[in-house]
RNA sequence: GCGAAAGUGGCGGAAUUGGUAGACGCGCAGGUCUCAGAAGCCUGUGAUCAUUAGAUCAUGGGGGUUCGAUUCCCCCCUUUCGCACCA
């Protein structure tokens, strides 16, 4: 019988579904293993690039389950968000309809890949059963002062008509649509993630099984800096101005002070300035600029006409306003040390301010902290950075003009969105009582479904009188409901807990069970979430910890980021992307007619015409082939280029595995597996087991190919190698589940191969009985000798001495050194 | 600019603690089967020299440590990614 995946794959998918093989009773005893893929946004069709993520997860799930773990692999939908709303505006379908339709399509796609999820635990963040707990969580954070409404300069995306979190602004542009983000001063809801900056930073140290890269990115984002706050008295103001510095050791070199244009003391400082109007105009202009624009404009400033007193030199130093000082960081004011800071130097050069050297070393501006020694600084002359800082801060604290300070770059998480398709923020605005939270028993605040989508005039919720008008729970009077919705990253910052008890309508989750199942043992998703989602999830988990709802602070014990799958796309000479059907290859070069096209390898995208849809591939080769190829193509964390020819190799491999099974069934061989094949089998079991744990799927599969080739040779010789073959099927199952189930059954084995225990390697059977020792003379390969294994050192040197080829090289020379690497090689150094 | 990772055949990529570089697969070449083709299957496949045996050179470039370096150290080059006036 030929191998026909189109028949066996649906058959096994159906059987697994009927037997509910992936359903887990969270109360049942066993050693838990929580495998989780980041839940996807239901955008519609999936391509082979998306498949990598889920195929990896399924392979891990199956392998751990076969190794006896009670493995849970749930799936849900990050179902709120802008694309649904945009689709509604464009096509007139309701975001909910659009989203549910996509979910159905993606679910069918997962099934065709043979991926096993516990669908009894499915959840979608757009359902009131889910988002009511978002609202509940919001209220708990509000109670604890961790959710607050504040006015601040925020990032506004003019295209998406909403504010964005700092984390959603990439290079000054909206993460979603790429529009240049503008600054606006608005009153919005924030989560006080900055209260957790120190814990989020410190916690990274405990994440041994996270990629270093992700930890580093988070560390940089949190941006912990150690330094001091120092007050500089300002006689004209009658009160001091506080600055933050990481270089207190350079304070003797502070020849001026710079305030952010938005600094609260600016108005008083320039009140009597002759060019006050000009300065105010300049401040207004700078305030409207984004950071990106300010940076492009170069250093600019205005002198306030007032002076501060440097507490260490007692000199009066001018107070300037500067576009490079940010109100959001530190105190919005700096002491400028042009001799030892590049930005201050640049500013000083431009405005002719004195540059003073206070650290000996290289050319000014000299910023090296490691090698310099303090000079012109009476209190600390001759000291290096660390001691100098200590002395200065001690003195600052002694005088009561400041203190040691740790500051963070991280800013509070802006969670308000002026969009419809999200969780309504459960807050009310009462003219009499002010801001009033919706009482918990009134949750959920349901998103009204029958609103019109015009795409204009902002959020449709704000125009829905039935939604907006409410009764105040405190005074009983009429109130206005908050019409902003929550950032969808709120939804995804705790969903991994909800999967354990997804239908509980009395509480957010069951703490005892969540404490049993979490942290997630293996979390898999793209690197694009290195900061956003993972930071927010770590933050919310800590707030849950502080509420006593969970007993862990880190939600994800082990993290893996898969690389993207790329494919060649073709551009014509005008730079437009060309559909693949129009491209023809001559001499390996892409043409459209006579026009030479340029090839560019990139992420799969419909607009680049380089998407590989899995359905065609599955129809031609089967899902198992796609799975094996996807895992074999490259190390899973690396970017990998899809190759249609490469798929053929995976297909051939599975066909051979099938053919060997057929041959074994057809003939009754005589001899059992040879010693060499037995050894290879046990080595393969050990290798595959270890490589799955290390996410080295490409080499795990290559080891299985080697074993399969060895089995092929044995089958050709007529050996009965059923036992070895069955072990191969088991090892292969996590990667190619359908074909292995089918062959398992054909070989007369009982039950699902999925439920069969993972084969165990016997260290005794892995040993070689003859050791081949490589002989080097002066480091060059000069021969080999075979000795019984395990050999003694004497046996080896005796065999080497007796070897003819080696003797030829040794003739007349003296051996000055003998090196023996047990079991591997001998090196003789001669002269 | 700062930070991080990486550079191995025509291609994707392998190589415990330094120990026969190129596993496995793609591609290519030859063979087999066929009227022919496709698919299988078998053999070969880093480069150079040599009829062969074999030799020499090869892991971005240059140096070093070592009996021995893809692996460790120093310098340089290139690529990718992250952050970007954070005081």
pLDDT digits (tens, 9 = 90+) for A125-141: 999 999 999 999 999 99
Distance between the alpha carbon (CA) of A802 and the C1' atom of B47, Å: 35
pLDDT score for A588: 65
Highest mean pLDDT among A176-185, A254-263, A461-470, A569-578: A254-263
> pTM for this one?
0.92
Q: How confident is residue A442, by pLDDT bands cut at 50, 70 and 90?
A: very high
Strand B, nucleotides covered by protein (CB < 7 Å): 3-5, 11-15, 19-21, 23-27, 39-42, 56, 67-69, 81-87
Find the mean pLDDT for residues A476-503. Answer: 95
The reply to whether A226 has its C-beta less than 7 Å from any atom of strand B is no
Which residues from 255-284 of A have any strand B atom under 7 Å from their CB? Answer: 260
End-to-end Cα, chain A, rounded Å? 66
Query: How large is the greatest C-alpha to C-alpha distance in chain A, in angstroms?
Result: 110
Mean pLDDT of chain A: 90
Give the residue among A773, A774, A772, A780 at the shortest CA–CA distance from A829. A780
pLDDT score for A705: 95
Nucleotide nearest to A336 (CA to C1'): B87
Nucleotide nearest to A817 (CA to C1'): B67
Reported as a single tens digit per residue, the pLDDT across A191-240 is 999 999 999 999 999 999 999 889 999 999 999 999 999 999 999 999 99
The reply to whether A247 has its C-beta less than 7 Å from any atom of strand B is yes
The answer to whether A79 and A125 have CB atoms below 8 angstroms apart is: yes
Nucleotide nearest to A226 (CA to C1'): B87
The reply to whether A213 has its C-beta less than 7 Å from any atom of strand B is yes
The reply to whether A640 has its C-beta less than 7 Å from any atom of strand B is yes
pLDDT for A395 beyond 80:
yes
Cα A815 to chain centroid, rounded: 57
Distance between the alpha carbon (CA) of A687 and the C1' atom of B20, Å: 21
The answer to whether A537 and A493 have CB atoms below 8 angstroms apart is: yes
Give the 3-state secondary structure percentages of chain A, helix then strand then coil, rounded to 5.
40, 20, 35
Percent pLDDT > 90 in chain A is 64
pLDDT score for A180: 77
pLDDT for A455 beyond 90:
no
Written as one string, the DSSP assignment of A625-659 is HHHHHHHHSS-TTS-EE--HHHHHHHHHHHHHHHH
The reply to whether A772 has its C-beta less than 7 Å from any atom of strand B is yes
Reported as a single tens digit per residue, the pLDDT across A693-742 is 999 999 999 999 999 999 998 888 888 889 999 999 999 999 999 999 99
The reply to whether A220 has its C-beta less than 7 Å from any atom of strand B is yes
A107 by Cβ neighbours in 10 Å (0-12 / 13-18 / 19+) ranks as middle
Q: Which two tokens stand for residue A455?
A: 């795409």
* List of residues 6+ apart from A16 with CB closer than 8 A: A22, A116, A752, A754
Nucleotide nearest to A293 (CA to C1'): B85
What interhelical angle do A95-112 and A614-621 show, nearest 10? 20
The reply to whether A140 has its C-beta less than 7 Å from any atom of strand B is no
Q: Which two tokens stand for residue A235?
A: 């006689």
| Per-residue CA distances from A415 to A193, A401, A528, A536, A629 (Å) | 11, 37, 19, 11, 41
Distance between the alpha carbon (CA) of A213 and the C1' atom of B75, Å: 26
pLDDT for A628 beyond 90:
yes
Pairwise CA distance, residues A203 & A405, whole Å: 20
Distance between the alpha carbon (CA) of A482 and the C1' atom of B75, Å: 62
Distance between the alpha carbon (CA) of A218 and the C1' atom of B85, Å: 20
Which residues from 703-762 of A have any strand B atom under 7 Å from their CB? Answer: 705-706, 709, 712
A254 by Cβ neighbours in 10 Å (0-12 / 13-18 / 19+) ranks as buried
pLDDT score for A163: 76
Reported as a single tens digit per residue, the pLDDT across A362-388 is 788 888 887 788 999 999 999 988 899
The answer to whether A219 and A201 have CB atoms below 8 angstroms apart is: yes
* List of residues 6+ apart from A74 with CB closer than 8 A: A36, A117, A118, A121, A122, A499, A502
pLDDT score for A820: 82
Distance between the alpha carbon (CA) of A809 and the C1' atom of B51, Å: 26
Nucleotide nearest to A644 (CA to C1'): B26
Pairwise CA distance, residues A17 & A410, whole Å: 46
Distance between the alpha carbon (CA) of A759 and the C1' atom of B26, Å: 31
* Helical segments of A1-159, H only: 5-19, 48-66, 82-91, 95-112, 128-143
Nucleotide nearest to A324 (CA to C1'): B85
The reply to whether A776 has its C-beta less than 7 Å from any atom of strand B is yes
The reply to whether A297 has its C-beta less than 7 Å from any atom of strand B is yes
The reply to whether A649 has its C-beta less than 7 Å from any atom of strand B is yes
- A93 versus A493: the higher-pLDDT residue is A493
- A282 versus A831: the higher-pLDDT residue is A282
Distance between the alpha carbon (CA) of A672 and the C1' atom of B33, Å: 31
Which residues from 19-78 of A have any strand B atom under 7 Å from their CB? Answer: none
Nucleotide nearest to A704 (CA to C1'): B24
pLDDT score for A666: 84
Assembly ipTM: 0.93
Pairwise CA distance, residues A500 & A508, whole Å: 10
Distance between the alpha carbon (CA) of A683 and the C1' atom of B71, Å: 24
Written as one string, the DSSP assignment of A659-710 is HHHHHHHH---SSB--HHHHHHHHHHHHHHHHHHHTT-HHHHHHHHHHHHHH
Pairwise CA distance, residues A622 & A630, whole Å: 13
Which residues from 666-705 of A have any strand B atom under 7 Å from their CB? Answer: 696, 698-699, 701-702, 705
CB atoms within 10 A of CB A763: 8
Which residues from 434-493 of A have any strand B atom under 7 Å from their CB? Answer: none
pLDDT for A558 beyond 90:
yes
The reply to whether A781 has its C-beta less than 7 Å from any atom of strand B is yes
Reported as a single tens digit per residue, the pLDDT across A266-309 is 999 999 999 999 999 999 998 888 777 888 888 999 999 999 99
Pairwise CA distance, residues A363 & A706, whole Å: 62
pLDDT score for A603: 85
A465 by Cβ neighbours in 10 Å (0-12 / 13-18 / 19+) ranks as exposed
Which residues from 530-549 of A have any strand B atom under 7 Å from their CB? Answer: 531
Q: Which two tokens stand for residue A559?
A: 């993290």
Distance between the alpha carbon (CA) of A358 and the C1' atom of B7, Å: 43
CB atoms within 10 A of CB A51: 24
Q: How confident is residue A800, by pLDDT bands cut at 50, 70 and 90?
A: confident
Which residues from 492-511 of A have any strand B atom under 7 Å from their CB? Answer: none
Q: How confident is residue A28, by pLDDT bands cut at 50, 70 and 90?
A: very high
Q: How confident is residue A457, by pLDDT bands cut at 50, 70 and 90?
A: low
Distance between the alpha carbon (CA) of A38 and the C1' atom of B71, Å: 35
Give the residue among A671, A653, A751 at the shortest CA–CA distance from A716. A671
pLDDT for A169 beyond 80:
no
Reported as a single tens digit per residue, the pLDDT across A586-615 is 666 778 878 888 878 888 888 888 888 899
A635 by Cβ neighbours in 10 Å (0-12 / 13-18 / 19+) ranks as middle
pLDDT score for A492: 96
Q: How confident is residue A456, by pLDDT bands cut at 50, 70 and 90?
A: low
Distance between the alpha carbon (CA) of A54 and the C1' atom of B13, Å: 22
* Helical segments of A363-487, H only: 385-399, 465-468
Nucleotide nearest to A224 (CA to C1'): B86
The answer to whether A420 and A461 have CB atoms below 8 angstroms apart is: yes
* List of residues 6+ apart from A713 with CB closer than 8 A: none
Q: Which two tokens stand for residue A512?
A: 């005892």
The reply to whether A634 has its C-beta less than 7 Å from any atom of strand B is yes
Pairwise CA distance, residues A742 & A397, whole Å: 76
Which residues does residue A374 pair with via DSSP β-bridges, in sequence order? A359
Pairwise CA distance, residues A698 & A292, whole Å: 43
pLDDT for A569 beyond 90:
no
């Amino acid at each position: 019988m030929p191998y026909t995946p189109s028949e066996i794959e649906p058959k096994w998918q159906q059987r697994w579904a009927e037997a509910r093989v992936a359903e887990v009773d969270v109360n049942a005893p066993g050693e838990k293993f929580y495998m989780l893929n980041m839940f996807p946004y239901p955008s519609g069709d999936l391509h082979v690039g998306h498949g990598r993520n889920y195929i990896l997860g399924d392979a891990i799930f199956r392998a751990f389950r076969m190794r006896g773990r009670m493995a849970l692999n749930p799936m849900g939908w990050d179902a709120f968000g802008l694309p649904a709303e945009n689709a509604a505006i464009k096509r007139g379908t309701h975001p909910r309809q659009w989203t549910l339709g996509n979910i159905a399509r993606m679910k069918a796609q997962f099934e065709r890949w043979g991926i096993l999820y516990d669908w009894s635990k499915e959840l979608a963040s757009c359902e009131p059963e889910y988002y009511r707990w978002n609202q509940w969580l919001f209220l708990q954070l509000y109670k604890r002062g961790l959710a607050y409404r504040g006015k601040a300069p925020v990032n506004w995306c003019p295209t998406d008509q909403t504010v964005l979190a700092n984390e959603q602004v990439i290079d000054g542009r909206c993460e979603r649509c790429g529009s240049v983000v503008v600054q606006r001063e608005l009153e919005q809801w924030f989560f006080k993630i900055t209260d957790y900056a120190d814990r989020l930073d410190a916690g990274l140290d405990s994440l041994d099984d996270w990629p270093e890269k992700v930890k580093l990115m988070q560390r940089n984002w949190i941006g912990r800096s150690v330094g001091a706050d120092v007050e500089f008295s300002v006689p004209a103001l009658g009160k001091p101005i506080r600055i933050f510095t990481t270089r207190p050791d350079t304070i003797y070199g502070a020849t001026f002070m710079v305030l952010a244009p938005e600094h609260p003391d600016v108005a008083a400082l320039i009140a009597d300035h002759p060019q006050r109007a000009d300065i105010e105009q300049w401040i207004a202009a700078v305030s409207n600029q984004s950071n990106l624009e300010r940076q492009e404009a170069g250093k600019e400033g205005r002198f306030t006409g007032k002076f501060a007193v440097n507490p260490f030199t007692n000199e009066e130093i001018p107070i300037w306003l500067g576009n490079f000082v940010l109100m959001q960081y530190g105190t919005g004011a700096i002491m400028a040390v042009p001799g030892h800071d590049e930005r201050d130097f640049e500013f000083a050069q431009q405005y002719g301010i004195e540059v003073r050297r206070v650290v000996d070393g290289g050319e000014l501006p000299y910023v090296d902290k490691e090698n310099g020694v303090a000079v012109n600084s009476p209190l600390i002359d001759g000291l290096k950075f660390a001691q100098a800082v200590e002395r200065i801060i001690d003195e600052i604290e002694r005088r009561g003009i400041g203190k040691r300070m740790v500051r963070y770059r991280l800013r509070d998480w802006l969670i308000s969105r002026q969009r419809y398709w999200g969780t309504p923020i459960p807050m009310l605005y009462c003219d009499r009582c002010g801001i009033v939270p919706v009482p918990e028993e009134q949750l959920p605040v349901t998103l009204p479904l029958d609103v019109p989508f015009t795409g204009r005039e902002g959020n449709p919720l704000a125009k829905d009188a039935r939604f907006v008008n409410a009764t105040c729970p405190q005074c009983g009077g009429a109130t206005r409901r908050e019409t902003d919705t929550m950032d969808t990253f709120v939804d995804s910052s705790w969903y991994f807990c909800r999967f354990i008890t997804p239908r509980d309508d009395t509480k957010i989750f069951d703490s005892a069970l969540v404490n049993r199942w979490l942290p997630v043992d293996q979390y898999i998703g793209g690197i694009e979430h290195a900061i956003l989602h993972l930071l927010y999830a770590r933050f919310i988990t800590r707030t849950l910890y502080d509420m006593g709802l969970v007993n862990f602070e880190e939600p994800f014990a082990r993290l893996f980021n898969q690389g993207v799958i790329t494919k060649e796309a073709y551009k014509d000479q005008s730079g437009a992307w060309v559909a693949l059907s129009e491209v023809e290859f001559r001499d390996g070069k892409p043409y459209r007619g006579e026009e030479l096209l340029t090839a560019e390898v990139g992420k799969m995208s419909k607009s680049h015409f380089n998407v590989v849809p899995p359905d065609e591939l599955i129809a031609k080769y089967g899902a198992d082939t796609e799975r094996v190829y996807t895992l074999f193509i490259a190390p899973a964390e690396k970017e990998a280029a899809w190759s249609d020819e490469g798929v053929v190799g995976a297909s051939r491999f599975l066909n051979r595995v099938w053919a060997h099974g057929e041959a074994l069934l057809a003939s009754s061989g005589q001899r059992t597996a040879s010693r060499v094949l037995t050894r290879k089998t046990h080595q393969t079991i050990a290798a595959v087991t270890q490589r799955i744990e290390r996410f080295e799927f490409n080499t795990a599969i290559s080891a299985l190919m080697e074993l399969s080739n060895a089995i092929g040779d044995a089958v050709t010789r007529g050996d009965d190698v059923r036992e070895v073959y069955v072990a191969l099927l088991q090892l292969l199952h996590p990667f190619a589940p359908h074909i292995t189930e089918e062959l398992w059954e054909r070989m007369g084995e009982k039950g699902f191969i999925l439920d069969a225990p993972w084969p165990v390697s016997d260290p005794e059977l892995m040993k070689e009985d003859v050791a081949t020792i490589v002989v080097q003379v002066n480091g060059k390969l000069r021969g080999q000798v075979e000795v019984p294994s395990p050999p003694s050192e004497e046996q080896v040197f005796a065999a080497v001495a007796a070897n003819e080829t080696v003797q030829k090289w040794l003739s007349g020379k003296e051996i000055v050194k003998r090196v023996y690497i047990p079991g591997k090689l001998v090196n003789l150094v001669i002269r």
